[in-house]
Amino acid sequence: MSCGRPRGLPDVDPRTDPVFVLRGPVTRDEVAGLSDVVRGLAARSGVVVCDVAGLGPPGLAQVDLLARLELAARRGGGRIALRNPAPALRALLGLVGLGIQVEGEAEQGEPAGGVEEAVETGDAAS
C-alpha cells in the first residue's frame, strides 16, 4: 500500500536561471536592446546565464558587450553568469579587471561548495 506522498524534499522549489544565448558579432546598435532584455530577465530571476560560445573570437567588443550586460543586470537587481566562455575570453576579462562570474564557479569572496570556514580554538571573537 502506498501513502501517495512524493519522495524528496517537499518544500524545495527547483529554480533554473534563464539562459540568454549570445551570437556574434553583435553590433553597437544591438547592445541597447540586449541590455533591456537582460535587465528584464534579471529583475525576474536575479541571475541571467549568458551562453557566450557563439560570440566569436574574443576581443574588446565582447568585453564591452559583457560589461554593459552586467551593468544592465545589476540595474535590474541581479547579475550575469557566463556559460561556455573560451579560455581566451576569460583571460581577457581578467586582464581588464571585469570579474563576471562563470556558471558553476563560486562567486568572488564566496567559499567553494562544500567548503566550510574553520575557527581555531583560542581565537578572540570580535
Task: Give 12's pLDDT tier (boundaries 50, 70, 90).
Answer: very low
CA dist., res. 92 & res. 90, Å (int): 5
Tell me the three cell numbers of residue 26: 553583435
Which comes out higher in pLDDT, residue 14 or 86? Answer: 86
What is the value of pTM for the model shown?
Answer: 0.73
37-94 pLDDT per residue, tens: 999 999 999 999 999 999 989 999 999 999 999 999 999 999 999 999 999 999 999 9
